[in-house]
Amino acid sequence: MGAITTLTRMWLTRGVRPFTFTDENDGRLPYADCERLGLYIHIPFCRSICNFCPYCKTIYRKDACDRYIDALKREIRLVGAQRGGKTRATSLYFGGGTPALAADRIGEILGVVGEYFTVTEGVGVELHPDDVTPDVLRTLKAAGVTKLSIGVQSFQPKYQKVLGRKPVDAKALAAALAAVPFETVSMDFIFALPGQTFEDLRADADAALACGANHVAIYPFIDFSFTPSGVRPMEKREKRALLDAITRYLTEEKGCARGSIWTFASDAEAKYSSMTRENFLGFGCSATTLLRDQFKVNTFSVDEYCKRVDAGRLPTALTTRFSRRQRMVYYLFWTAYSTRVDAAEFEEFFGVPLKKMYGAELAIAKLLGLVTESGGVYEMTLKGAFYYHYYENFYTLAYIDKMWNVLRNDPFPKRLTL
Ligand SMILES: C[S@@+](CC[C@H](N)C(=O)[O-])C[C@H]1O[C@@H](n2cnc3c(N)ncnc32)[C@H](O)[C@@H]1O
Ligand code: SF4
Tell how far the Cα of 107 is from the centroid of ligand 1, in angstroms. 24
Whether 15 maps to a domain, the answer reads no
Query: pLDDT: is 162 or 18 the higher one?
Result: 162
Pocket test for ligand 1, best of 126, 132, 168 (most atoms within 8 A of CB): 126
Q: Give me the CATH number covering residue 95.
A: 3.20.20.70
Query: Is any ligand 2 atom within 6 A of the Cβ of residue 99?
Result: no
Q: Name the residue at shortest CA distance from atom 2 of ligand 2.
A: 97
CA distance readout (Å), 373 to 25, 307, 338, 366:
42, 50, 15, 8
Are 229 and 138 in the same domain? yes
Cα 97 to averaged position of ligand 1 atoms, centre (Å): 9
On the question of pLDDT at 220 being above 70, the answer is yes
Closest CA to 35 of 84, 89, 79, 92: 89
C-alpha distance from residue 73 to each of 254, 261, 371 (Å): 42, 33, 43
Sign of CA dihedral 359, 364, 367, 371: negative
pTM for this prediction: 0.93
> Of 265, 285, 305, which residue constitutes the final position of a domain?
265
Residue 257 sits in the same domain as residue 346? no
With CA atoms as reference, report the closest residue to 246 among 285, 205, 277, 213: 205
- Beta carbon of 219 within 6 Å of any ligand 1 atom: yes
> For residue 323, what pLDDT is reported?
85
Average pLDDT, integer, range 213-219: 95
Same domain (yes/no): 256, 333: no
Output the average pLDDT for the chain: 91
Helix 62-80 × helix 103-116 angle, to 10°: 10
Cβ 163 vs Cβ 153: under 8 Å: yes
Say yes or no: 96 and 237 in one domain. Answer: yes
The domain containing residue 162 runs over which residues?
A: 36-265
Q: 258 and 378 share a domain?
A: no
Cα angle 288, 292, 294 (rounded to 5 degrees) comes to 50
In a domain, 246, yes or no: yes
Say if 304 falls within a structural domain: no
Question: What is the tally of structural domains in the chain?
Answer: 2
Last residue of a domain, one of 228, 248, 265: 265
Instruction: Please give the single-letter amino acid code of residue 213.
Output: A
Q: What is the DSSP string of 337-376?
A: GGTEEEHHHHHHHHSS-HHHHHHHHHHHHHHTTSEEEETT
pLDDT tens readout for residues 313-363:
999 999 999 888 888 888 888 888 888 899 999 999 899 999 999 998 899
pLDDT at residue 13 in the model:
57
In sequence order, the β-bridge partners of residue 321 are 294
- The residue out of 240, 265, 290 marking a domain boundary is 265
- The pLDDT of 150-162, averaged and rounded, is 94
The better pLDDT of the pair 71, 33 is held by 71
Q: Which protein residue's CA is at the shortest distance from atom 6 of ligand 1?
A: 98
Closest CA to 43 of 90, 106, 89: 106
Q: What percent of the chain lies above the pLDDT cut of 90?
A: 68
Q: How far is CA 72 from the centre of its chain?
A: 19
C-alpha of residue 57 to centroid of ligand 2, in Å: 7
Output the residue whose Cα is nearest ligand 2's atom 7.
97
Report which of 138, 139, 186, 193 is spatially closest to residue 165, judged by C-alpha positions. Answer: 193
The answer, yes or no, to whether residue 398 has pLDDT greater than 80, is: no
Q: Is 265 exposed, middle or buried (0-12, 13-18, 19+ CB in 10 A)?
A: buried
Per-residue pLDDT of 103-121, as tens digits, reads: 999 999 999 999 999 999 9
| Whether 71 contacts 306, CB under 8 Å | yes
Please tell me the distance between residue 360's alpha carbon and the centre of ligand 2 in angstroms. Answer: 42
Ligand nearest to the CA of 227: 1
Element (H, E) at 244: helix 236-248
DSSP H or E segment with residue 138: helix 134-143
